[in-house]
Amino acid sequence: MPQNLSMFSLAGKTALVTGANTGLGQGICAAYAAAGANVIGVARRSCQETADKIKAVDGNFTEIIADLSDINVIPHIVEEAGKDYSRVDILVNNAGIIKRCDSVDVTMEDWDAVVNLNEKMVFFLSQAFAKNWIRDNQGGKIINIASMLSYQGGIRVPSYTASKSAIMGLTRALANEWAKYGINVNAIAPGYMATNNTQNLRSDEQRSEEILSRIPAGRWGTPEDTTGAAIFLASDAASYVHGFTLAVDGGWLAR
Ligand code: NAP
């Protein structure tokens, strides 16, 4: 790699990515492996497809099966991650769910499911790794996956909007506390991407057309579209970038 591009290399780094079996998480895992990182994928079911993609670029992949709706799995994740690698350098809080429903009909159970995974888990998993990084004085990178609904209200997704708006605030709050320890906390706000998360939206012809006609790039995003930002924020090139949420949205927010 030319010297001026070596700052983007992840060689020798270990990245832990949640929600690694599909969608954006899978894309980020594959991109990190291609950039030289060892990758640990956390998911509630097999990451075989991700493992195959990483094998294709001669990368190292370990999976940890864990249901991230339960905060008590955190010690297990930290312990398992420590078995293969002396330290995790990069944490990507990607796992997330969305529940579409009129606000007047949202149940407390659905509200808690979304907020516990999308917001509470992100905070406490970040805390668990940051504690180690502060103790070891070696810094680290946290990349949270935010959303257009970190900026906007959305329609029929109040718990998701609340959780993703919280992610943008949390990204700033943690950066303010942890930048002095060499920990970079940043976020990526994907636009409308073709993954399981948007399957229902894309199946609704009217909503799909409304969304597509508003995206300046004129197409839905793909998991690959988020990977450049994910590599940048995980790399030495982003050492002085703190608390920022970078939109990868085909221009959606520019309108
Ligand atoms: P996705 O294909 O539905 O992927 C979500 C990932 O989270 C899957 O791996 C899923 O596992 C995992 N997950 C869900 N609940 C979990 C749990 N309890 N424990 C462990 N893992 C769990 O959607 P995606 O689009 O790639 O979403 C990735 C992130 O991007 C999410 O935070 C999402 O909110 C965000 N995002 C997506 C879009 C978009 O347009 N697609 C836009 C903005 C932000 P399973 O496969 O087992 O469900």
Q: For ligand 1, say whether the CB of 23 is within 6 Å of any of its atoms.
A: yes
Measured distance CA(157)–CA(55) in Å, rounded: 37
- In this prediction, residue 174 has a pLDDT band, given cuts at 50, 70 and 90, of very high
Bridge partners of 91?
Answer: 16, 142
The total number of structural domains that make up the chain: 1
Residue spans of beta strands (DSSP E) within the chain: 14-18, 38-43, 61-65, 90-93, 140-145, 183-190, 245-248
Q: Which residues have a Cβ under 8 Å from the Cβ of 127 and sit 6 or more positions away?
A: none
197 Cα: distance to centroid of ligand 1 (angstroms):
6
In Å, what is the CA distance from 55 to each residue of 29, 38, 51, 186?
11, 11, 6, 28
pLDDT band of 10, cuts 50, 70, 90 = very high
pTM passes above 0.95: yes
- Cα-Cα-Cα-Cα dihedral of 136, 138, 144, 150, to 10°? 100
Q: Which residue has the tokens 């942890």?
A: 178
Catalytic positions, please? 160
**Nearest atom within ligand 1 for CA of residue 23:** 26
Average pLDDT over residues 96-115: 98
Structural domain of 87: 3-254
pLDDT band at 187 (very low <50, low <70, confident <90, very high): very high
3-state secondary structure of 39: strand
Ligand 1 near 144 CB (within 6 A) = no
Q: How confident is the model at residue 240 (pLDDT cuts 50, 70, 90)?
A: very high
> For residue 127, is pLDDT > 90?
yes
Tell me which residue of 184, 172, 171 sits closest to 237, measured CA to CA. Answer: 184
Query: Where residue 220 sits, what CATH number does that domain have?
Result: 3.40.50.720
Q: Is 21 in the pocket of ligand 1 (CB under 6 A)?
A: yes
With a pLDDT cut of 90, the percent of the chain lying above it is 96
pLDDT at 4: 82
The number of angstroms, rounded, from the C-alpha of 136 to the middle of its chain's C-alpha atoms is 24
d(CA 229, CA 215): 19
